[in-house]
Structure 1
Amino acid sequence: MNIIITIAVTALVVLYAGLFKAKKALLPLSLFGLLISLVFVVTSWNTNQVSYGMMQMDNFALAFSGLTIISTFFILLLSQNYFAKNSDNIAEYITLILFSLVGVIMMLSYKNMSMLFIGVEIMSVSLYILAGIRKSNLSSNEASIKYFLMGAFSTGFLLFGITLIYGATGSFDLEVISEYLVGNYNAVSPLFYPGIILLMIGLCFKVGAAPFHFWVPDVYEGAPTLITTFMSTTVKVAGFAALLRLFTETFAPLHDFWMPPVMALACITLFIGNVTALFQKHFKRMLAYSSVSHVGYLLFSIITLSGQSSNSALVYLTAYTFASIIAFAVLILVKQKTGSDHFDSYNGLAKKSPFVAFALTIAMLSLAGIPLTAGFMGKYLMFLNVMGEYHVYLVAFAILNALVGFYYYFRVIVAMYFKEGAEVDLPTPVQYKLVLVLSVVITVLLGVYPSLILNLI
């Protein structure tokens, strides 16, 4: 609870600082608040605190909360030169990001499905505004409307699913629902099964799993790039962790019922995400479809329930998060300099900006799953998880899709090192260099020593 209060108070302080035109204090205040909340994450480890019977800060919630807070910290570091060029209302940007993070923490720590809904709404409402915060930009407006409509639609599925499960069990509490399933395994209410499917659909909308992904490319492309970074990393971590907690813990007794549709979703998501990314000509849109494909790999962690499902997902999401932060940070730099995110904008980048090109290369290698990067360990753990149940054909299908991914990830590397272009010299601010260096170190370190976080949960 201390984590949520700290972030919420920080958001309010930043908002009031904006009213008094204290622009230089906004970013330091935000970063300081996130550091304090990170201290609470560390000091709460192994305490298993329960707040009002509604939220539980167990190690699962704390591990993913730590990841989302660090990723938000990095994203806010990238905001120093970003917001100043696009808006005078910097405080509003940062405040909405922090309020969205409050919803994220609720989604990670819910013990009651009503708190899951509240967390989803707090996170989503902030993001609807952030996606369209450039009021004079038609693409931003379109992104906001599409995100709002699809978000409202998915919330309807989520609420209907929660309602059916409440009708079957008489409770929103996850422990009570789990006890009901264990005690009535052979006589589960008919309401429960459609409730699971509707909850699955609602959460798959939030994480961007196919065929519920059709909002992702347009929203990611139209929203400000920094907001897209937040949506692609922190928000995706929250959505998938919420899905993981619900299905691997509460709904585990009905695994045989919901496993086949999850497997089908994983295959469809992998295929559509990877194949569609092949045909993209713009880096940002390619990253959008790439994020869809990674959801397919992440679904492997719940196809086969094991004691390592949560840890494997944590490693994968950590690898994906920091590689994506690098990719979007470089995208911001390139777009600010050239005004375009077309692949041709990256031609010859390594000659004038070798450090930026090297960081982006590490990110692309990690997203592709090349050894000695965190992305390789993430994919390896996902494949290992389903191999335990002899889903050989599923693994083979996933490996073929990973090979397809090599093409569009290496396309960027080839453009930077082997194609002639404008050879743009990117001015890289200090905070960008700091984020790139730390993200590269984390990506390589986890690729070599995944045990650093593999057994956290």
Structure 2
Amino acid sequence: MLPIILLSILGLLVLFLGFQKSKTLLLPATLLVLVVVLITNFLNWNDVPSLYFKGMLYENKLTMAFSGIVILSAFLIVALTRGFVDDESAQPAEYYALMLFSLVGAIMMIGFENLIMLFVGVEILSVSMYVLTGSDKRNLRSNEAALKYFLMGAFATGIMLFGMALLYGATGSFNVTAIKSYVLTNATPSIILYAGLLMLLIGMLFKVSAAPFHFWTPDVYDGAPTIFTAFMSTIVKTAGFAAIYRLLAGSFSGIYTFWWATLAGITILTLLAGNVTAVYQKSFKRMMAYSSISHAGYLLLSVTALTSHSQSAIVFYSLAYSLATISAFGVLMIVAKETGVHSNEKSESFEAFNGLGKKNPLLAFVLTVSMLSLAGIPLTAGFWGKFFIFSSAVDRGLTWILVIAVLMSTVGIYYYFRAIIAAYMREGELAAIKISPFYRLVLIVTTVITLVCGLLPDFLKGLV
């Protein structure tokens, strides 16, 4: 896996660039690293599936697609970190290095063939995110968020590791293929296998903010610096669902009748908790946190269905969700900076967008497209993402869950449109907002891709 090697080596080089007096090279160097890694990720696209590192990592078109999404998301998010260079208290070299190292963990989670490699990937990604969450050392909210994330994440990791130990005790192997062989050849698998699978799922569902393991999400997303909240809500979620899908489809499809009901219940609970609670939020950032929980529910619906269409549906939805989320947080960062305060209730509330349509039509349009995509409105990528997710549920016959998912989608329209209404239908105190050409380019790219995927969904869907 060339991307893992490049990210590890080049991440260290970026870290050493921090010793220079000038910080100007850090952002271009990090972006260049991500471009190189993104290109190398697809070098073997037409080759047969391969195993690496003593058979512990697996690579095929699916893993490359998921890896491409997380690397592209990281590139777009890093491109919005121009403010690090001007902030005297920031440590951009450390931030960029940690973001690159976290991608190593994400790619390991996506392509694991051995449960040990899954655990290593989860830990690399999680430890990096713990540090980045608390990177604003002068902000009590950031410190509190980092502590909550670390303590609850440590417990979840312990449960996940214990589940892996039970699976090893039942099957005698950590290998995904060997576990699948055990499941298929044993008509009545050991009770230890069932317990191990449930504990492993608990740990993984915590990482993707699925209910009832979601309680950390609002406080952590709200307290972390906005740029790292965007990173957390896209890269971590995409890698987490890629790992869950790989785990269930690769090893435990043979005992689908055992785990599907549990996952279906968690899916319903996640959809209800995320959408209903988001309605009552006054903070845009907290609303996006509960929105992240609700989108975990939609992705879980496709994982629960586990049909032939689930694979492409999860990939498409992950890309659509990541692009819209990056756009939304990008606009929030620019508006918050314009208010003069980066992390307070006023700059992060819906009222912060009042009058945005008049002061900066481009930002208002980007915000509108991102909200429409997250709500699943036609002509955006989010519409087709939900359509493919719902289609996989229909294929499995999960119509009763589908009804709940559709109802929750209508609830989502309400709280997403609050930002659009604020931007176009309310008067605000914002002065004329000027954004740098670089920021403008990033937001235009995310918006254009969102619209293109909404107009030509079959092109991307047919690649995987």
TM-score bracket relative to the smaller structure: over 0.9
Q: Distance in 2 between matches of 1:13 and 1:53?
A: 28
1:326/1:360 contact within 8 Å kept: yes
Match of 2:57 among 55, 58, 83: 55
1:72/1:230 contact within 8 Å kept: yes
Structure 2 residue 425 is matched with structure 1 residue 411: no
2:142/2:224 contact within 8 Å kept: yes
Q: Distance in 2 between matches of 1:233 and 1:358?
A: 21
Q: Which amino acid aligns with 1:80?
A: R
Partner in structure 1 of residue 181 of structure 2: 179
1:144/1:219 contact within 8 Å kept: yes
| CA displacement 1:159-217 (0-9 Å, x = unmatched) | 01101100000000001001111111x12111000111111111000000011000000
Counterparts in 2 of 1:305 and 1:119: CA distance versus 1, 3 Å: same
2:277/2:290 contact within 8 Å kept: yes
Q: How far did residue 22 of structure 1 move?
A: 4.1
Partner in structure 2 of residue 73 of structure 1: 75
1:84/1:90 contact within 8 Å kept: no
Partner in structure 1 of residue 441 of structure 2: 434
For residues 161-240 of structure 1, the aligned pairs below 5 Å read: 161-184=163-186, 186-240=187-241
Partner in structure 1 of residue 365 of structure 2: 358
Q: Which amino acid aligns with 2:24?
A: K
2:23/2:85 contact within 8 Å kept: no
Moved over 4 A (4+): none
Q: Which amino acid aligns with 1:387?
A: V
1:353/1:424 contact within 8 Å kept: no
Q: How far did residue 45 of structure 1 move?
A: 1.0
Secondary structure of 2:51's counterpart equals strand
Partner in structure 1 of residue 344 of structure 2: none
Q: Which amino acid aligns with 1:443?
A: T
Q: How far did residue 425 of structure 1 move?
A: 2.0
Q: Distance in 2 between matches of 1:442 and 1:395?
A: 27
Does 131-140 or 349-358 show the bigger shift? 131-140
Partner in structure 1 of residue 26 of structure 2: 26
Unaligned runs of 5+ residues in structure 2 are 342-346
Secondary structure of 1:384's counterpart equals helix
Q: How far did residue 21 of structure 1 move?
A: 2.7
Partner in structure 1 of residue 35 of structure 2: 35
1:72/1:234 contact within 8 Å kept: yes
1:348/1:424 contact within 8 Å kept: no
Structure 2 residue 457 is matched with structure 1 residue 456: no
Q: Which amino acid aligns with 2:314?
A: A
Structure 2 residue 387 is matched with structure 1 residue 380: yes
Structure 2 residue 351 is matched with structure 1 residue 344: yes
Q: How far did residue 308 of structure 1 move?
A: 1.7
2:24/2:85 contact within 8 Å kept: no
Q: Distance in 2 between matches of 1:318 and 1:416?
A: 25
Q: Distance in 2 between matches of 1:124 and 1:219?
A: 13
Q: Distance in 2 between matches of 1:282 and 1:132?
A: 20
Q: Which amino acid aligns with 2:175?
A: D
Q: How far did residue 83 of structure 1 move?
A: 5.5
Q: Distance in 2 between matches of 1:342 and 1:24?
A: 32
Partner in structure 1 of residue 125 of structure 2: 123
Match of 2:110 among 103, 108, 115: 108
For residues 85-100 of structure 1, the aligned pairs below 5 Å read: 85=87, 87-100=89-102
Secondary structure of 1:134's counterpart equals coil
Does 323-332 or 85-94 show the bigger shift? 85-94
Q: How far did residue 267 of structure 1 move?
A: 0.4
Q: How far did residue 335 of structure 1 move?
A: 0.9
Q: How far did residue 455 of structure 1 move?
A: 2.3
The alignment covers a number of residue pairs equal to: 456
2:375/2:412 contact within 8 Å kept: yes
Q: Distance in 1 between matches of 2:308 and 2:396?
A: 14
User: Alpha carbon RMSD of aligned pairs, Å?
Assistant: 1.1
| CA displacement 1:45-67 (0-9 Å, x = unmatched) | 13323112100121111000011
Q: Which amino acid aligns with 1:129?
A: V
Q: Distance in 1 between matches of 2:404 and 2:353?
A: 31
Unaligned runs of 5+ residues in structure 1 are none
| CA displacement 1:393-448 (0-9 Å, x = unmatched) | 21111111011101100011011101111143222112211111111111111111
Partner in structure 2 of residue 157 of structure 1: 159
Secondary structure of 1:299's counterpart equals helix
Q: How far did residue 31 of structure 1 move?
A: 1.2
Q: Which amino acid aligns with 2:299?
A: L
Partner in structure 2 of residue 14 of structure 1: 14
Q: Distance in 2 between matches of 1:324 and 1:430?
A: 20
Percent identical residues:
48
| CA displacement 1:45-101 (0-9 Å, x = unmatched) | 133231121001211110000111011000110001245326342101111111111
Secondary structure of 1:420's counterpart equals coil
Q: Distance in 2 between matches of 1:298 and 1:86?
A: 40
Q: Distance in 1 between matches of 2:206 and 2:79?
A: 29
Structure 2 residue 298 is matched with structure 1 residue 287: no
Q: Which amino acid aligns with 1:337?
A: E
| CA displacement 1:95-118 (0-9 Å, x = unmatched) | 111111111111111100000000
Q: Which amino acid aligns with 1:198?
A: M
2:307/2:395 contact within 8 Å kept: no
* TM-score normalized with structure 2 length: 0.97
Secondary structure of 1:383's counterpart equals helix
Structure 2 residue 451 is matched with structure 1 residue 444: yes
* TM-score normalized with structure 1 length: 0.98
| CA displacement 1:218-252 (0-9 Å, x = unmatched) | 00011111000000001110011100100122110
